[in-house]
Amino acid sequence: MVSPTLILFTGDVRVNEQLALTATYTIFLREHNHLARELKKLNPHWSGETTYQEARKILGAFQQIITYRDFAPLVIGDEATMKYLSPYEGYDESIDPGIANVVSTAAFRFGHLMINPKLFRLDENDQEHP
């Protein structure tokens, strides 16, 4: 009998190595598909590609909100967030949307350090479950 192993294919090969990362990818994948279904109901004339890309844009916005509004203040504090991450004032084509390699490398390293090697199960009272 073959074991029921789930192998996910994403943009990151480590997705199958860490349960929290697997769960995060799964949640965002399912939300993308949910958005695509709802958008197709509202826009039945859209092609599959248009539906996919529009859902992708919305999900990207969700991820930005979570990162800048919710996550960054917890990591660097409210004051630093306000100082270094100015409010969005609209699209500016003169700004390079790229990211410096040093920034992305530092961010990835920081993210890797945040992953706990143990994942604890909690009960309904947030107490460790054996």
* Tokens read off for 61: 């916005």
Kindly list the distances between the CA atom of residue 94 and the CA atoms of 27, 90, 97, 100, 104, in Å, as whole numbers in the listed order. 34, 12, 9, 17, 21
What are the start-end ranges of the E strands in 14-73? none
Residue with tokens 């958005």, as numbered in its chain? 35
HSE-up (13 A, CA, CB side) for residue 51? 17
HSE-up (13 A, CA, CB side) for residue 41? 5
- The answer to whether 34 is annotated as binding is no
Binding residues for heme b: 112
Binding residues: 112
